[in-house]
């Protein structure tokens, strides 16, 4: 299956481990990501006012790229746009929803881009990789596992952007299970915990890092308390806060017990038999190899 | 007797003037009596000093161009942009790394891009300005250097940008970083630099320097330009 | 903490402005406090989200002096829980925009230290600038 793929800025820079592990894992199960030939930063956070249409331009330009890819034959009758990054998923989805629901807004955007772009017809669907896996069937994924993640206790960290608001959430906003089902398909153990969809502090990491330290501490402590040995995420901003900021907490508090943070695709890759280099473990800040060696996975 | 030159009406900085049809904006300004002390440059479309914004009669689009290259039309409204106010960070290329973090440090405003594409529409060089800004945001400096290669730093992109990005300064840094750290080293260039140092071209340079203006101009226009 | 507010005629202007910008029918808020109870940032705020709603409803422009809307990170926790289906993230955004559209940034984008600049992911920088600069 070939599917148009929107990487987002961070997967090309600090989250290369996310992109490489996802692409390689997907190949193993017969999915090929076709990166948009041209794309724009989605804007990271959705524009939430009634009138600020300018900020929907970037998402719409990316949707038009998918239309073009179909015309150029890069993909066949594929109106889905695949994302890995939770924030890209959320921002693109919210813009798309607005364009689908508000014909006047779509018209204004198309008019603004007159002579630059073809019209967006409103028919693209933004999908997250996890939803593709779910649709394919986690039982099918389980059959392809060559290295079961036996005894590894994994806490699923959804964060905000995969679940909220409800209109774009990939699962139930209050009682999600998609990541846990994914973890089970890798034959790892799920962890029942409270902090799985609690905000990590998001972009406050730039100007108000103390907020992030507090929230990250709470999330890590909750994971520890419930016996987690690893946390998985699909958001490069959550990953930065949970991983890099956690390492800074550790530096200031030597007694603080850290937990390794993985992109969900990194564990997927390991379970599908990829080596540690192919899933980019060297990019993770908190050591990830100890626990994997202990479980004889690398 | 020569045929009488047809005149057309244009608005220069808000005032109505009659200027000869077929003039460039720069010629029109001078014909109208404006004494240009700034924003003139090479008069050949190379240097980017004479950025101008204008509206053609009946068109709502605000267009940008170079005064020395753009021909006036009936009813055109024109304003010169002799300089673009831009804060220019000072940096030592030797201390920088060729990655996105360098831009966070020196040009944080680049991350305010909203993909409106106004910069591209304003560019008189037909550069995909938005695309190189986007390339910088995702750390692809090789691509940014490549797309922005023809930039002449006229500043029209920066004047129009709603996110207040100074695109051309970002592009210059991208090309510098690419040239210093990322581009394939050229043995031919190294060789030529050695030759220059050894004085191989001293005689030719001296000849050019002493050449009368007319002769220099003649050989300049006869020179071969390789377009690859 | 009780607070006595004397209403003026023009107070509805502010409420109407925020309702228009946010697209939310703020007057539907019944002050149940679910938003404040579930907000992961509430301990960092000077005024609770539900109090912000009440003050906006009463047209009190003084909410613009509060830091609450800048602390709100649009995590949408309150949005999915509001029994009146109000989207408080949109109200926060509207309040931020009132300031930002006056050409006043909440942060100085040059304040990022060199060390942080080389470390921060693009996603954080873009997100922060979108929310804190106009």
The residue written with tokens 């290369």 in the block is: A16
Task: Identify whether A134 is part of a domain.
Answer: no
In chain A, what residues touch C111 (CB-CB under 8 Å)? 207
Cis peptide before C36 (omega within 30 of 0): no
Instruction: Test A207 with C132 for CB contact under 8 angstroms.
Output: yes
DSSP A283: G
What residue in A sits closest to C86 (Cα-Cα)? A165
Kindly state whether B104 is in contact with chain C, defined as any CB-CB distance less than 8 angstroms.
yes
B7-80: CATH, from 3.10.20.30, 3.30.750.200, 3.90.660.10, 3.40.50.720? 3.10.20.30
Burial group, residue A49, by CB count within 10 angstroms (0-12, 13-18, 19+) = middle
The string of pLDDT tens digits covering residues A43-75 is: 999 999 999 999 999 999 999 999 999 999 999
**pLDDT, position B119:** 97
Instruction: Test A116 with B138 for CB contact under 8 angstroms.
Output: no
Which of the listed residues A104, A129, A154 is the one where a domain comes to its end?
A129
What residue in C sits closest to B111 (Cα-Cα)? C126
The residues of chain A scoring below 70 in pLDDT are: none
Instruction: Test A41 with B115 for CB contact under 8 angstroms.
Output: yes
| B186–chain A nearest CA distance, Å | 27
DSSP A3: E
- Each domain of chain C, given as residue ranges in start order, spans 11-102, 107-134
Task: Identify whether A139 is part of a domain.
Answer: no
We report the CATH number of the domain holding residue A155 as 3.40.50.11810
Beta pairing, strands B15-20 & A261-263: unpaired
Kindly state whether A59 is in contact with chain C, defined as any CB-CB distance less than 8 angstroms.
no
The string of pLDDT tens digits covering residues C3-56 is: 788 888 778 999 999 999 999 999 999 999 999 999 999 999 999 999 999 999
We report the CATH number of the domain holding residue A18 as 1.20.1050.140
Cα-based angle C69, C75, C80 (whole degrees, multiple of 5): 105
Domain that holds residue A63: 2-129
- Three-state DSSP string of chain B: CCCCCCEEEEEECCEEEEEECCCEHHHHHHHCCCCCCCCCCCCCCCCCCCEEEEECCCCCCCEEEECCCCECCCCCEEEECCCCCCCCCCCCHHHCCCCHHHHHHHCHHHHHCCCCCHHHHHCCCCCCHHHHHHHHHCCCHHHHHHHCCCCCCCCHHHHHCCCCCCHHHHHHHHHHHHHHHHCCCCHHHHHHHHHHHCCCCHHHHHHHHHCCHHHHHHHHHHCCCCCC
Burial group, residue C94, by CB count within 10 angstroms (0-12, 13-18, 19+) = buried
**Selected residue of C107, C124, C133 to mutate for chain A interface (largest A Cβ count, 10 A):** C124
**pLDDT, position B99:** 97
**pLDDT, position C1:** 61
Task: Identify whether A89 is part of a domain.
Answer: yes
Q: Which two tokens stand for residue A176?
A: 């999600």
The shortest CB-CB distance from A50 to any of C20, C75, C111 is to C20
Instruction: Test A165 with C122 for CB contact under 8 angstroms.
Output: no
In chain B, what residues touch C120 (CB-CB under 8 Å)? 101, 104
**Selected residue of B104, B161, B166 to mutate for chain C interface (largest C Cβ count, 10 A):** B104
Residues A118, A156 within the same domain: no
Higher pLDDT, C1 or A266: A266
Instruction: Test C118 with B102 for CB contact under 8 angstroms.
Output: yes
The HSE-up count of residue B103 (CA atoms within 13 Å, CB side) is 34
- Average model confidence (pLDDT) for chain C? 95
**pLDDT, position C122:** 97
**From residue A174, how far is each of A127, A137, A163, A190, C49 by CA, in Å?**
20, 22, 8, 17, 20
Residues A63, A112 within the same domain: yes
Give the contacts of A254 (CB within 8 A, at least 6 positions apart): none
**From residue A5, how far is each of A8, A88, A101, A129, A157 by CA, in Å?**
9, 11, 24, 10, 23
Instruction: Test B114 with A61 for CB contact under 8 angstroms.
Output: no
* Distance, CA of B212 to chain centre: 29
Query: Which has the closest alpha carbon to C21: A161, A79, B115, A52?
Result: A52
- Each domain of chain B, given as residue ranges in start order, spans 7-80, 93-182
Task: Identify whether A77 is part of a domain.
Answer: yes
Give the DSSP letter string of A179-241: HHHHHHHTTPEE---SGGGS---TTHHHH-HHHHHHHHHHHHHHHHHTT-SEEEES-HHHHII
- Complex-level ipTM: 0.96
Strand partners, A154: A190, A230
**pLDDT, position B228:** 62
Q: Find the helix packing angle between A245-252 and A209-225, rounded to 10°.
A: 90
Residues A116, A16 within the same domain: yes
In chain A, what residues touch B114 (CB-CB under 8 Å)? 43, 54-55, 57-58
How many Cβ atoms from other residues are within 10 Å of residue A111's Cβ?
Answer: 9
Give the contacts of A7 (CB within 8 A, at least 6 positions apart): A19, A35, A39, A84, A85
The residues of chain B scoring below 70 in pLDDT are: 1-2, 228
The string of pLDDT tens digits covering residues C109-134 is: 999 999 999 999 999 999 999 999 99
Task: Identify whether A135 is part of a domain.
Answer: no
Give the contacts of B188 (CB within 8 A, at least 6 positions apart): none
**Helices and strands (H and E) in chain C: how many:** 8, 0
Residues A64, A117 within the same domain: yes
In chain C, what residues touch A85 (CB-CB under 8 Å)? 123
Residues A287, A172 within the same domain: yes
The length of chain A is 298
Which of the listed residues A129, A162, A189 is the one where a domain comes to its end?
A129
Instruction: Test B139 with C126 for CB contact under 8 angstroms.
Output: no
C 29-88 residues with CB below 8 A of A?
40-41, 44, 71, 73-77, 79-80, 87
Chains that touch A (3 or more CB pairs under 8 A): B, C
Chains that touch C (3 or more CB pairs under 8 A): A, B
Residues A36, A121 within the same domain: yes
When divided into structural domains, chain A yields a total of: 2
Residue burial A208-230, b: 16+ Cβ < 10 Å; e: rest: bbebbbbbbeebbebbbeeebbb
| C4–chain A nearest CA distance, Å | 31
The shortest CB-CB distance from C131 to any of A45, A52, A165 is to A45
């Amino acid at each position: 299956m070939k599917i148009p793929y929107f990487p987002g800025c961070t997967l090309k820079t600090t989250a290369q481990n996310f992109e490489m592990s996802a692409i390689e894992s997907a190949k193993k199960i017969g999915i090929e990501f076709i990166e948009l030939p041209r794309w724009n930063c989605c804007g990271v956070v959705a524009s939430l006012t009634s009138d600020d249409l300018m900020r929907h331009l970037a998402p719409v330009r990316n949707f038009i790229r998918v239309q073009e890819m179909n015309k150029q034959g890069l993909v066949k009758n594929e109106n889905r746009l695949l994302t890995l990054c939770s924030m890209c998923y959320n921002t693109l989805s919210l813009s798309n929803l607005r364009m689908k629901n508000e014909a006047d807004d779509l018209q204004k955007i198309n008019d603004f881009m007159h002579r630059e772009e073809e019209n967006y017809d409103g028919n693209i669907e933004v999908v997250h990789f996890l939803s593709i896996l779910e649709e394919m069937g986690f039982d099918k994924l389980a059959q392809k596992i060559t290295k079961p993640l036996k005894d590894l206790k994994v806490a699923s960290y959804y964060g905000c952007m995969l679940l909220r608001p409800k209109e774009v959430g990939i699962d139930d906003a209050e009682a999600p299970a998609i990541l846990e089902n994914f973890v089970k398909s890798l034959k790892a153990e799920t962890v029942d915990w409270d902090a799985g969809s609690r905000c990590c502090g998001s972009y406050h990491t730039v100007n108000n890092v103390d907020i992030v330290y507090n929230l990250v501490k709470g999330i890590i402590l909750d994971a520890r308390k419930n016996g987690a040995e690893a946390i998985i995420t699909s958001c490069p901003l959550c990953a930065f806060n949970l991983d890099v900021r956690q390492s800074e907490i550790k530096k200031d508090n030597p007694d603080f017990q850290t937990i390794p943070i993985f992109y969900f695709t990194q564990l997927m890759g390991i379970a599908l038999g990829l080596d540690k280099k192919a899933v980019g473990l060297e990019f993770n800040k908190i050591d990830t190899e100890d626990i994997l060696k202990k479980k004889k996975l690398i | 007797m020569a045929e009488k030159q047809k005149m057309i009406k244009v608005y220069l900085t808000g005032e109505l003037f009659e200027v000869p049809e077929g003039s460039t904006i720069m010629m029109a300004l001078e014909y109208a009596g404006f004494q240009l002390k700034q924003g003139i440059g090479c008069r050949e479309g190379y240097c980017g000093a004479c950025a101008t914004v204008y509206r053609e009669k009946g068109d709502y689009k605000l267009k940008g161009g170079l005064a020395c290259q753009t021909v006036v039309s009936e009813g055109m409204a024109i304003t010169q942009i002799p300089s673009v106010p831009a804060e220019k960070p000072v940096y030592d290329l030797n201390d920088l790394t060729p990655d996105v973090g360098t831009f966070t440090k020196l040009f944080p405003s680049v991350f305010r891009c909203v993909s409106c594409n106004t910069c591209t529409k304003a560019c008189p060089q037909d550069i995909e300005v938005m695309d190189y800004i986007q390339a910088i945001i995702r750390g692809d400096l090789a691509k940014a250097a490549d797309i922005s290669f023809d930039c002449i730093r006229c500043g029209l992109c920066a004047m129009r940008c709603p996110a207040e990005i100074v695109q051309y300064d970002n592009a210059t840094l991208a090309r510098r970083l690419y040239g210093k750290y990322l581009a394939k080293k050229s043995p031919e260039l190294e060789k030529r630099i050695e030759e220059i140092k050894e004085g191989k071209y001293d005689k030719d340079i001296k000849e050019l320097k002493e050449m009368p203006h007319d002769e220099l101009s003649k050989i300049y226009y006869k020179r071969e330009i390789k377009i690859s | 903490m009780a607070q006595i507010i004397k209403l003026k005629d023009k107070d509805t202007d502010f409420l109407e402005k925020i309702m228009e910008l946010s697209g939310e029918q703020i007057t539907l808020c019944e002050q149940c406090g679910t938003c404040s109870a579930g907000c992961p940032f509430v301990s960092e705020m000077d005024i609770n989200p539900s109090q912000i709603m009440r003050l906006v409803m009463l047209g009190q422009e003084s909410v613009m002096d509060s830091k609450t809307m800048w602390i709100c990170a649009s995590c949408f926790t309150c949005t999915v829980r509001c029994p009146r289906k109000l989207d408080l993230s949109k109200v926060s955004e509207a309040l931020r925009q009132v300031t930002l559209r006056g050409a006043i940034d909440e942060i100085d984008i040059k304040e990022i230290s060199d060390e942080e600049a080389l470390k921060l992911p693009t996603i954080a920088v873009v997100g922060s600038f979108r929310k804190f600069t106009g």
